Amino acid sequence: MIGQPISRVDGPAKVTGRATYAYEYWQDEAPLYGVIVTATIGRGRIREIDPADAERSPGVHAIITHENTPAQGARDESSPSPYWRARPTLASPDIGHYGEPVALVVAATLEQAQAGASLVRIAYAAEPGHFDFMANAEKAYAPKQLVFGLPTDSAVGNFDAGYDSAPVKIDHQYHTPYCFSQPMEPNACLAVPRGEDLVLYVSTQIVDAARSSVASTLKIDPQRIQVVSTYVGGGFGSKLSVHSETILAAIAARRLNRPVKVALTRRQIFHDVGVRPTGSWPSLMMRPCIRTLRRNLSKRARLPRAAFTRRPIG
């Protein structure tokens, strides 16, 4: 395949506008629209939430917060497969990061949902957080394993012997910034209730993981969930798992017994979707780390040999 022109099977449909993405699906019944309200502090708790003005706003059908969400499954951190885990959303008043969802406003139109979302009043009790990467470098540690149970460290050959004998040595520490995924299609979901069943039109890179994650979160039989993801408008790994838009659309649709559409805004994608962390690679997920490079340069070698050590922080 290298050097050969390869056509993507979905390419013609996408470039000609014939591909239907998750947010564009439409059922027989007009959908309701959900807009997510996000936290404005980096760490702390919701001290008080007042939805009264939003509830009186024209077209608003429901306001969902941690005070009225159904019981959800707990996130199983012991599982080596993160994309299949439950993703509880609005499950407590605790705030773990800036931009975390704190409410969902559902209305008859997108504009009415946006207007209602601007009227939700929230008071926070802010707490100290760790926001300076290098200030916490001394807390770096080696996890027992990485995603899917992969080993934390790897080595090929006898690095120490090769490095010690190299005529030229480089031993340097590099710091790389966060990288964010911003695909053409934002993270979005249309949730359609069908009695006890649920149909999810969602932009996801792993259909089975999406179904398992939603089922674990909502505590329902996975066989009652159908996931439709005909086209994905880019993902870069950010759609390997579902996010708050899918969970909240599903919760709202089941509560109101109506189709509900929810999409993350561009700004919300920066905060709610997984990133490539500082100085790391995607498999470390949200764990920032320092990367140290030791490389020996042999005058006779075509390619240098290198060793990396990675220590996540937090």
Condensed to tens digits (0 to 9), the pLDDT of residues 159-189 reads 788 888 888 887 777 777 788 889 999 999 9
220 and 300 assigned to the same domain: no
In terms of domains, do 152 and 124 share one?
Answer: no
In sign, the C-alpha dihedral spanning 198, 36, 218, 145 is positive
Tell me, yes or no, whether 213 lies in a domain. Answer: yes
Residue 89 lies in a domain: yes
Is residue 104 one of the residues assigned to a domain? yes
62 inside domain: yes
Q: Do residue 101 and residue 47 come from a single domain? A: yes
Residue 203's SS3 state is coil
260-294 pLDDT, tens digit each:
999 999 999 999 887 777 754 333 333 444 555 55
Same domain? 61 vs 153? no
pLDDT over 60 (residue 113)? yes
pLDDT at 194: 95
Burial 207-216 (b: 16+ CB within 10 A, else e): eebbbbbbbb
- Residue 251 in any domain: the answer is yes
Residue 145 and residue 247 in one domain: no
**How are strands ordered across the β-sheet holding 32-38?**
60-64, 101-107, 32-38, 260-263, 188-194, 197-202, 225-228
In a domain, 244, yes or no: yes
Q: Provide the whole-model pTM.
A: 0.86
**Count of structural domains within the chain:** 2
Q: Are residues 118 and 160 in the same domain?
A: no
Q: Which domain holds residue 207?
A: 11-129+189-271
- Please give the single-letter amino acid code of residue 25: Y
- Using the structure block, give the residue that is written with the tokens 């014939």: 18
